[in-house]
Structure 1
Amino acid sequence: MTPIAKTDRKTPLTRLLKQFGVIARDNRGVGAVEFAFVAPILVVLYIGAVEMTVALSVDTKVSRAGNITLDLITQGTTTSKDELEDMEDVAGSILAPYSNANVEVAFTAITINADGDKATVAWSWRSDAIAPPAIGTDITADMPASLMIGDAYYVRSEITNTHNFITSIPFTGSAMSSLDLNETYYKRPRLGTSITCADCNT
């Protein structure tokens, strides 16, 4: 009797597994796939680095503006609202070439009592819409402990500026599109023991 020849019939599942095996061994285009995964991360890192570099540069200028404007004020024995308003323009010019549209400054003269345990406002002026503290306001809680020296007199400068990013910063928990920068400085008068401002707080 002649034996019956076996036919090589493959089930659909066998053919499907074979196709998966071919696909698994095919490494064409692997580089393109890897690049597609890595490219967005690289773009985010690049944009983030640029944004933070610019923000650090702006922050440096904000610090410089606060220090220079206060230094100009403490070089005299008197000042006025007009002179203090000019300090906002000075700060804006120091921030160039970055935007100075959001810059705000505030100056407060502070006296310390003889015991060195209480600080009060001698005069104050702000460029924003917030009302400055009234003359005689107790601001002891706001003062650094190292500056609480008996009969001391200081002028405090506060400068703020909102830096707007070119684009939103991802992975911050929210759409971070701006950064509030601020600095505070204290200086003593260069000449005499105090600086007067007759039309401040009016």
Structure 2
Amino acid sequence: MSRIWSCIRVSAVALRRDSRGVAAIEFAMIVPLMLVMLFGTIDVSSGVAVKRKVTLVAKTLSDLTSQSTGVGDADITNFLAASYGIMWPYPSAPIQATISELYIDPATSVARVQWSKGSSPRGTGSPVDIPPGLIGKDSSNKTLPNQYLIYSEVSYLYQPIVGYVMAKAGVTLSDTAYTRPRQLACVHYNEPTSNPCPTN
């Protein structure tokens, strides 16, 4: 019996000193964690890049529209097409963009839609919340008349490559941009630019 215990003790000591296979065990334990970190980094960094492009699309849409005196359906289509090109090399299919002109009522300081075109156009006359800093006021804190804003809204469904860290179904990234018309007080839609800017 003592010989058996002696053999067990010798085997245990030898096993404790034997370091063969330790690297393989450590590798097997670390690889899953490293893979999750690798693919998670890829997904998150791609998401950050897409978010930046969504911001650029919103600014470009607003900027292109505000440089015009008047726009029609063909102009809006061209603006959208040019903006979607910014998304390359990411697919532009998941992008949703809307461009609107807002009129700020001097009596109420409420911004209302004059016209709206794109993926989800807003109803004419519907109110839009805008940052208070965009509303021009005089020295007596009264809202100045004839204020218009070009307002762009962009959203994009970003679907991660792997989806271990981010939602596999995708994450909606969105941004907005405001610019003031540059040529006239407003940007006319499908009407002569000689017409007065609408205020309803």
Q: TM-score, normalised by structure 2?
A: 0.79
Amino acid at match of 1:163: Y
Partner of 1:82: 74
The one of 175, 181, 195 equivalent to 1:183 is: 175
How much has 1:153 moved relative to structure 2? 0.9
Is the deviation greater in 89-98 or in 19-28? 19-28
The one of 127, 131, 140 equivalent to 1:144 is: 131
The unaligned stretches of length 5 or more in structure 1 are 1-8
Partner of 1:29: 21
Matches within 5 A, 1:33-52: 33-52=25-44
How much has 1:18 moved relative to structure 2? 5.7
**Distance in 2 between the 1:177 and 1:41 partners?**
22
The one of 159, 163, 180 equivalent to 1:164 is: 159
**Distance in 1 between the 2:108 and 2:25 partners?**
69
The 8 Å contact of residues 156 and 186 in structure 1, kept in 2 or not, is answered as: yes
Identity %: 25
Is the deviation greater in 107-116 or in 10-19? 10-19
Question: Tell me, what secondary structure is at the counterpart of 2:127?
Answer: coil
**Distance in 2 between the 1:12 and 1:117 partners?**
94
Question: Tell me, what secondary structure is at the counterpart of 1:161?
Answer: strand
1:62 aligns to 2:54 (yes or no): yes
Q: TM-score, normalised by structure 1?
A: 0.78
1:109 aligns to 2:111 (yes or no): no
Is the deviation greater in 17-26 or in 66-75? 17-26
**Distance in 1 between the 2:31 and 2:190 partners?**
61
Residues 177 and 167 (structure 1), Cα distance of their counterparts in 2 relative to 1, 3 Å cut: farther
Cα RMSD for the two superposed structures? 2.4
Per-residue CA distance 1:99-138 (angstroms, 9 max, x = gap): 11111110111111214532211111122xx4x3322122
The 8 Å contact of residues 76 and 189 in structure 1, kept in 2 or not, is answered as: yes
Higher alpha-carbon Rg: 1
**Distance in 2 between the 1:64 and 1:119 partners?**
24
Residues 117 and 11 (structure 1), Cα distance of their counterparts in 2 relative to 1, 3 Å cut: farther
The one of 109, 115, 133 equivalent to 2:122 is: 133
**Distance in 1 between the 2:98 and 2:8 partners?**
75
Higher relative CO (CA 8 A, sep ≥ 6), structure 1 or 2?
A: 2
**Distance in 1 between the 2:5 and 2:122 partners?**
82
How much has 1:12 moved relative to structure 2? 6.6
**Distance in 1 between the 2:80 and 2:159 partners?**
19
Aligned residues: 183
Amino acid at match of 2:92: N
